[in-house]
Structure 1
Amino acid sequence: MKRTTLSLFATTAALAAVTGLAVVTMPGADGDDAAPSAARLPVERSGLLCPAPSDSDLADTTYTSYTPKSPGASDSGRAVLDPAARAKKKAGAPALRPAEPGTPVTAEESGADVPALIGAAEGRLAPGWTVQQTTTVTAGEGRGVLGLACAAPDTEFWLPGASTAEGRTDYVHLTNPDDAAAVVDIELHGKDGALASSLGEDIQVQPRATVPVLLSTLTEKPQGDLTVHVTVRSGRVAAAIRAVDAERGADWLAPAADPAPAVVLPGVPEDVTAARLVVFAPGDQDAELTLQVASPNGPIVPAGNEELHVKAGMTTAVDLGEITRGEPGSLLLAPKDGSSAPVVAALQVVRGKGDRRETAYLPASTGIGARATVADNRAGGGALALTSTGRSAKVRVTASAGSGGGAPVSRTYPVPEGATVRVDDLVPKGLEGSYALTVETLSGGPVHASRMLELPEDGIPMFTVQTLADDRGTVAVPKAEEDLSVLQD
Structure 2
Amino acid sequence: TAAAGGARGLLGVSCTAPDTDFWFPGASTGKSRQDYVHLTNPDDTAAVADIELYGAEGPLESDSGEGITVPAKSSVPLLISTLTSEAAENVTVHVTTRTGRVGAVVSAAEDEVGSDWLAASEDPAGTQVLPGIPADATSVRLVAFAPGEDDADVKVQLLGKNGAFSPAGNDTLHIKSQMTASVDLKNVTRGEPGSLRLSPVDGSNTPVVAALRVVRGTGAKQEIAFIPATGPVGERASVADNRAKGSVLSLTAPGGTAEVKVTASAGSGGGEATVKTYTVKGGTTLQVTPGTPAGLKGGYALTVETVSGGPVHASRTLTLTEGGVDMFTVQTMPDDGGMVEVPATEQDLSVLDD
Normalising by structure 1, report the TM-score: 0.71
Q: 1:431 pairs with 286, 296, 318, which one?
A: 296
Alpha-carbon offset, residue 293 of structure 1: 0.7
Supply the distance in 1 between the matched residues of 2:212 and 2:179 (Cα, whole angstroms): 17
CA contact (8 A) 2:140 2:187 kept: yes
**CA RMSD after TM alignment:** 1.1
| 3-state SS of paired residue (2:310) | strand
Corresponding pairs, count: 354
Q: Which runs of 4+ in 1 moved over 3 A?
A: 484-489
- Matching residue within 266, 269, 286 for 2:151: 286
Distance 2:142 2:33 in 1: 17
Task: After TM superposition, give the deviation of residue 455 of structure 1 in Å.
Answer: 0.5
Task: Kindly provide the amino acid, as one letter, of the partner of residue 176 in structure 1.
Answer: N
In the alignment, is residue 177 of structure 1 matched against residue 36 of structure 2? no
Greater radius of gyration (CA):
1
Task: Provide Cα deviations, 1:203-224, integer angstroms capped at 9, x if missing partner.
Answer: 0000101100110111112111
Distance 1:425 1:448 in 2: 16
- Structure 1 residue 249 and structure 2 residue 114: aligned? yes
User: Which of residues 70, 78, 86 in structure 2 aligns to 1:221?
Assistant: 86
User: Counterparts in 2 of 1:88-167, with a 5 A limit?
Assistant: 136-167=1-32
Tell me how far 1:425 sits from its aligned partner. 4.2
Answer yes or no: is 1:407 the counterpart of 2:280.
no
- Residue 262 of structure 1: how far off its partner (Å): 0.5
Superposition map of 1:252-331 within 5 A:
252-331=117-196
Determine the structure 1 residue equivalent to 2:336. Answer: 471
Within 5 Å, give how 1:48-87 maps onto structure 2: none
In structure 2, C-alpha distance between the alignment counterparts of 1:428 and 1:388, rounded to whole Å: 26
The one-letter code of the counterpart of 1:216 is: S
**What is the distance in 1 between the residues matched to 2:347 and 2:15?**
40
Shift of 1:300: 1.5
The one-letter code sitting in structure 1 at the alignment partner of 2:249 is: L
* 1:145 match: secondary structure: coil
Deviation (angstroms), 1:482: 2.9
Structure 2 residue 244 is the aligned partner of structure 1 residue 379? yes
From 372, 388, 413, the equivalent of 2:253 is 388
Aligned-pair CA distance for 1:488: 4.1
**Partner SS state of residue 456, structure 1:** strand
Give CA-to-partner distance per residue, 1:272-302, whole Å, 9 cap, x none: 0001100000001110111111111111121
Corresponding position of 1:450: 315
Q: Deviations over 1:71-102 (max 9, x none)?
A: xxxxxxxxxxxxxxxxxxxxxxxxxxxxxxxx
Amino acid at match of 2:310: G
Q: Aligned partner of 1:468: which letter?
A: M
Partner of 1:238: 103
Gapped runs of 5+ residues in structure 1? 1-135
Contact 2:247–2:290 (8 Å) recurs in 1:
no
Shift of 1:487: 4.3
* Aligned-partner residue type, residue 310 of structure 1: I
Structure 2 spans left out of the alignment, 5+ residues: none
Q: Take 1:380 and 1:217, find their aligned partners in 2: how far apart are those partners?
A: 40
Kindly, what percent of the aligned residue pairs are identical? 58
| Amino acid in the other structure paired with 2:263 | T
Q: Structure 1 residue 342 and structure 2 residue 207: aligned?
A: yes
1:268 and 1:178 map into 2 onto residues whose CA distance is 36
